Amino acid sequence: MTHDNSTHSRSGRSRIEEDRQREEDRARGRGTGAVMRVIVPLQGVVQGRGGVVLGSVIPCALFYFLQLYLKRHRSERAPREEVPPPPRRPSRSPRKPALVSSRALHVIEDENSPYYRGWQAYKENPYDAEHNPDGIIQMGLAENQLMADFMCEVMKAPFNPDQIVLTAGATPAIEMLGFCLADPGNAFLVPSPYYPAFCRDLKWRAGVELVPVPCRSSDNFNVTINALDRAFSQTKKRRLTVRALLISNPSNPVGNILDSATLTMLLEFATEKNIHLVCDEIYAGSVYDSPNFTSIAKVLESGEFDKSRVHIIYGTSKDLCLPGFRVGVIYSYNDKVLKAAQQMSRFCSVSSQTQHLLINMLSDAQFIQQYLSENQRRLRKASLVLTEGLKEAGIKYVKSNAGLYCWVEMGSLMPSYSEKGELNLWDKLLNEAKINVTPGSACYCIEPGWFRICFSTLSCQDMTVALRRIQEFSKRRKRSL
């Protein structure tokens, strides 16, 4: 009997699944199934005629040695000695606590060395000019407080400085949540099209599989509960454990925002499936038109939700236009995740010099307010120039109100309605029109013909040049097709 992952024919699926369960059990070290399948035919072998003694003794001895062998074999294959056993699979019961990864638990536990306990003792002795002048001066708190205040300002929702872990950019923040929420080979569901680099952020080192949840133009690329349910059950059929749903709000690449109803639906879905909900809100302050942005933090305030499964990604790269400063935020409602992430942040600390500058910037609330609104004004203007130009060229796009990009449909310029056709068009845009855009397939979009066009890096003059190139290319292309 040979089958691989590709044999997904509907007929006989249950049998295949049972077999695969058994195989998986064996792969994990439980060899009982194999032993039984050996033993039972052996009884048949010897029960036939004569050789009662041999027929009984040999199989018994065989069974004994096999058990010995398998026992040794099993203990040898403990995947990594020092890692605690993986947590139980999430149950379907809606009120089970959200599980963190076994590696996160390991990191949390790894504080017993006297080396670190010594540090801890040192930490528990805080500086006070009068009462404890030899104590430690805490530098992190001011920044966390200011960052929480800043997030409150941007997202119009409550944030608590104790729930913040700072990282060297949003990229390591996303990776860190991968390490904390998933064990290698676990999956995150991600409504597609999505930010292309999620894949490298989560897969390269944290080993998290991303499973697209396809969204369609007919739904204005909003995620539906049907698509979520389907992706979840298909992923389970692939024997992957889903550990989180990862969304970006405002969405990247589409550039629209998720409303309260959608966010509530996603929260309920995550609770029902006992998975985490990771909300990348890095463009929260880059909403330049109505409707207003709603943070998941705001939705959490409005009802009886299990907060411990919710984690927000933020950073200063987009809304403050400071990508080079490498300042990212994990805002989590889960104590274990906070603790593990705090420990792991040794791998992606923010430069103290940059912390100092940021403290100064964020302390000036008026400056920040003006900065954000001026940034939004410019984004609105640039977006308008781009979309007006696209209209002139007869190119359709999704109406958006956030982010630094526009989600554009150029299917009519493709030689064929396929990923290949899309990549052909992308290649022509790059090498003939000299315009670098992101093809939808790179964002795992299910429909070919969509492209993400960024408008924030160009001056007005450059935007005019770019639009002229697109318009001329479009004309030539339509003639040649």
Q: Is 139 helix (H, G, I), strand (E, B) or coil?
A: coil
By CB under 8 A, which span of 54-62, 305-313, 388-396, 472-480 interacts with a copy of itself?
54-62
Whole-angstrom Cα distance, residue 208 to residue 242? 10
Which one of 183, 280, 306, 319 is the catalytic residue? 280
Contact 192, 227 (CB under 8 A): no
- The least CB distance from residue 22 to a copy of itself, in Å, is 6
Question: With binding defined as CB under 8 A, does residue 106 bind a copy of itself?
Answer: yes
Beta bridge partners of 166: 329
Pick 22 or 381: Cβ nearer a copy of itself: 22
Pick 206 or 390: Cβ nearer a copy of itself: 206
Which residue of 151, 154, 164, 211 would you call a contact of a copy of itself, by CB under 8 A?
211
Q: Binding marks (x or -) toward a copy of itself, 21..50, rule CB under 8 A?
A: xxxxxxxxxxxxxxxxxxx-xxxxxxxxxx
Within 79-98, which residues bind a copy of itself (CB under 8 A)?
79-83
Dihedral sign of CA atoms 472, 416, 409, 235 in order: negative
Active site residue 318: yes
Q: Is 24 helix (H, G, I), strand (E, B) or coil?
A: helix
Beta bridge partners of 287: 402
Question: With binding defined as CB under 8 A, does residue 136 bind a copy of itself?
Answer: no
Whole-angstrom Cα distance, residue 247 to residue 311? 11
Which ranges of 346-418 does DSSP label H, i.e. alpha helix?
352-363, 365-392
Within 260-319, which residues bind a copy of itself (CB under 8 A)?
none
Q: Are strands 405-409 and 438-439 parallel, antiparallel or unpaired?
A: unpaired
Question: With binding defined as CB under 8 A, does residue 8 bind a copy of itself?
Answer: yes
Pick 11 or 93: Cβ nearer a copy of itself: 11
Within 409-428, which residues bind a copy of itself (CB under 8 A)?
418-419, 422-423, 426
Contact 63, 36 (CB under 8 A): no
Active site residue 306: no
For residue 366, how far is the Cα from the chain centroid?
33
Which residue of 91, 132, 138, 349 would you call a contact of a copy of itself, by CB under 8 A?
349
Active site residue 282: yes
Whole-angstrom Cα distance, residue 69 to residue 63? 10
Beta bridge partners of 210: 188
Q: Is 157 helix (H, G, I), strand (E, B) or coil?
A: coil
Which residue of 98, 99, 105, 107 would you call a contact of a copy of itself, by CB under 8 A?
107
Question: With binding defined as CB under 8 A, does residue 470 bind a copy of itself?
Answer: no
Contact 278, 247 (CB under 8 A): yes
Pick 190 or 263: Cβ nearer a copy of itself: 190
By CB under 8 A, which span of 194-202, 275-283, 293-301, 329-337 interacts with a copy of itself?
194-202
Q: Which residue has the tokens 């059950």?
A: 233
Whole-angstrom Cα distance, residue 477 to residue 101? 51
Question: With binding defined as CB under 8 A, does residue 480 bind a copy of itself?
Answer: no
Pick 161 or 421: Cβ nearer a copy of itself: 421
Within 234-263, which residues bind a copy of itself (CB under 8 A)?
234-235, 239
Q: What angle do CA 73, 76, 77 make, to 5 degrees?
A: 90
Pick 307 or 477: Cβ nearer a copy of itself: 477
Beta bridge partners of 213: 191
Pick 204 or 367: Cβ nearer a copy of itself: 204
Question: With binding defined as CB under 8 A, does residue 190 bind a copy of itself?
Answer: no
